[in-house]
Amino acid sequence: MVMSEMETGLDRARAIYQDRTRRARELKAEGKQVIGYFDIYPVLEMLTALDLVPYRILGDMNEPITKADACLPTVVCPFIRSVMDLGLKGRYDFLDGVVMAHGCEVAEKTAHIWRTYLNPAYAHFIDTPHTTHTAALEQHKELLKDFKKTLEAFAGKELTLEKLRQAIEVHNEQRLLVRELYDLRKPDPPLISGTETLQVLVALASLPVTEGNELLRQVIRQAHERRDGPRIQPARLLLWGSIIDNTAIIDLIESLGANVVMDDTSLGSRAYFPLVEQTGDPLDGLANRYLVALKSPRTFRETVLTKTKRKDYLADLENRFSYLKDYAQEWKVNGVILEVLRYCDIHGYEVPGLKDYLDHIDLPSIYLEHDYSQAALAQLRTRVQAFLEVIG
Amino acid sequence: MAYFMGIDIGSGTSKGVVTRDGEVLAYHLLPSGANYRAAAEKLRAELLAKAKLSSQDIAYTVATGQGSASVPYSDGQVTDIRCCARGISKIFPSARTVIDVQAQSSQVIRLGERGQVVNFVVSEKCAAGSGRFLEVIANVLQVELEDIGPLSLKSKRPVAFTTGCAVFGESEAISRVAEGNAKEDILAGVHQALADKISTLVERVGLEKDCTISGGGALDIGLVRSIEEKLSLKLLVPPQPQLVTALGAAIMAEEMAA
């Protein structure tokens, strides 16, 4: 048994969070191939079906960006600049290949820059459409067929329908387990803190899916059994935003008298909640899940027209954000933090409408912008503190 | 007899107030410098000397401001947003909006009927809407800080600033000097740029009258007039705007001790 298998549950999640590549490197030593991916749009089931290990490429808030400025403008998303920086510094040199998608414009450009500068053995780019129209869905399915072809060529074996169905099943199992993990946050006090949840999520993004599922079962069991979980706090918060892959922000919030009990971010519920429907042709279910069912501001959804065929602002907001109202009710949330990375246009554009919606449903919110560095977090402290005073 | 202390360690100036029964007994201001702890110690010594008290006479001390964690003798810390709200409500009970122009940032706070904070917005990590912007430009123009306001009011043709950034603003001010513009016109232009930035914050938080201004920026009559013009209203200006937050901290100290 290797070292990393000796820890269990939350200890294991924390250990992997602190040293993300450890398990991936062990698997490499056992002869497995590890494929890095960006964001939530690459279809992971295809990797799993071919026995390739999916490994999510994340940034590092503690590492100053020094190399990436040579190939990316400084006025783009600092998370992606950090990711590129780590790539250039060799932190992802253990990857056998990468699959990236058109999450946003910066991610798209970075995918090509990554390929040029780092020249991985396997690189595939999925040009994920940005709308959910029928034509876009058909196009998405065709793009997944291309992805399947290049992966089969790389793996040197056929991706059978049966294997794909099995992979969908095991990934859906993970999604249901993540829902169970999130259910632990519904009681007051929650059975698991926001910081612990993030450590588990980062671990999931660093492990093969079956190992992730085992970890989730351990954590869920442990959270029910232990007596030293989080304490009741006056504020129960929902964290909405782009990506949070470092516990520093949640630590900061939770240290000020709040429990972060729910999130809508791309490493959290957004990435896991929608399931893949098992369809006759599995590609139909996958194409639909990864384009239509995933709810992210990067995908445009047509405004709902009222009976009079006129655009109605509130109906549009309701259509876009009512799931957040459901979250707030189910997780008994009394405040929302809108976290946006500097220069993240797609989340930035979403904020005015989302804020209007939250005002409309009487849910207090605060907008926090940061530039993805630990040093910049101190100035957020006063704002979070003042927000907690307002809602408390 | 119980005495209370409010200490506001700002990035530029440290302010302190001693109160008894909600009334100010003594106050003091000094530059924060590079050592907040030393500033906090000196501030307390000065305050106690002015109030003719010893440290044992102070029942409770609340620290606030950027350096609030560096006040070794505080009994509690409260955000400057809440302290500012409390201080301004004491001076102007009718206040519903406060524009607080500090050295490093500006914030706009909406108050409820009991003086509680109902909403607030802080300028992002950028000095453009803050007093620091004025200091940078005053330095370029070699004008004393206290002269900025009166001088700018003499302007007949304010220069339009195209940038909202304090760093680029400095180069822009230098260009305007090179073009031969008068100092008062450049300063009036800076005030307008600041007022634009601040009024956007006011818009975000929602304006409700009475509207007040606090912080070091409120000492600049040119800035006050520009904001009034922009918002089409008259601002209530407290007699000592820099002390508002420290006063609020002292009031909070009384409440927290109770």
Q: Mean pLDDT per 10-residue run, chain B (258 residues)?
A: 93 94 94 95 97 95 94 95 95 96 89 89 69 82 88 90 68 84 90 88 90 94 94 96 96 93
Do B207 and B96 touch, CB atoms closer than 8 A? no
Say if A255 is an interface residue toward chain B (CB within 8 Å): no
Tell me if A382 and B81 make a contact (CB, 8 A cut-off): yes
Q: Which domains does chain A have, with CATH numbers?
A: 3-160 (3.40.50.11890)
Question: Is the N-terminal amide bond of B196 cis, ω within 30° of 0?
Answer: no
Which positions in chain B touch A379 (Cβ < 8 Å)? 125
Domain that holds residue B55: 1-92+242-258
Number of folded domains that form chain B: 2
Do B101 and B223 touch, CB atoms closer than 8 A? yes
Nearest to B125 among A379, A382, A389 (CB): A379
Is there a single domain that holds both residue B227 and residue B105?
Answer: yes
Report how far apart, in Å, the C-alpha atoms of B212 and of each of B191, B201, B207, B226, B241 are.
Answer: 17, 14, 11, 14, 10
Is there a single domain that holds both residue B98 and residue B179?
Answer: yes
Say if B44 is an interface residue toward chain A (CB within 8 Å): no
Which positions in chain A touch B65 (Cβ < 8 Å)? none
Is there a single domain that holds both residue B88 and residue B98?
Answer: no
Nearest to A390 among B78, B118, B122 (CB): B118
Is there a single domain that holds both residue B134 and residue B201?
Answer: yes
Report how far apart, in Å, the C-alpha atoms of A274 and of each of A174, A285, B219 are.
Answer: 11, 11, 56
Is there a single domain that holds both residue B158 and residue B41?
Answer: no
Q: pLDDT of A255-307, one tens digit each?
A: 999 999 999 999 999 999 999 999 999 999 999 999 999 999 999 987 766 67
Which positions in chain B touch A371 (Cβ < 8 Å)? 125
Which positions in chain B touch A389 (Cβ < 8 Å)? 78-79, 81-82, 117
How close B244 gets to chain A, by Cα (Å)?
17
Is there a single domain that holds both residue B147 and residue B215?
Answer: yes
Nearest to A386 among B81, B124, B125 (CB): B81
Is there a single domain that holds both residue B109 and residue B233?
Answer: yes
CATH of the domain at B112: 3.30.420.40
Is there a single domain that holds both residue B22 and residue B69?
Answer: yes
Is there a single domain that holds both residue B60 and residue B185?
Answer: no
Report how far apart, in Å, the C-alpha atoms of A101 and of each of A39, A80, A84, A134, B21 are.
Answer: 8, 13, 15, 20, 65
Sort A13 into a burial class: Cβ within 10 Å, 0-12 / 13-18 / 19+.
buried
Is there a single domain that holds both residue B197 and residue B249?
Answer: no
How close A335 gets to chain B, by Cα (Å)?
13
pTM of the complete model: 0.86
Do B64 and B78 touch, CB atoms closer than 8 A? yes
Is ipTM > 0.90 here? no
Tell me if A386 and B117 make a contact (CB, 8 A cut-off): yes
Q: pLDDT of A241-265, one tens digit each?
A: 999 999 999 999 999 999 999 999 9
Which positions in chain B touch A383 (Cβ < 8 Å)? 122
Is there a single domain that holds both residue B107 and residue B221?
Answer: yes
Mean of all residue pLDDT scores within chain B: 90
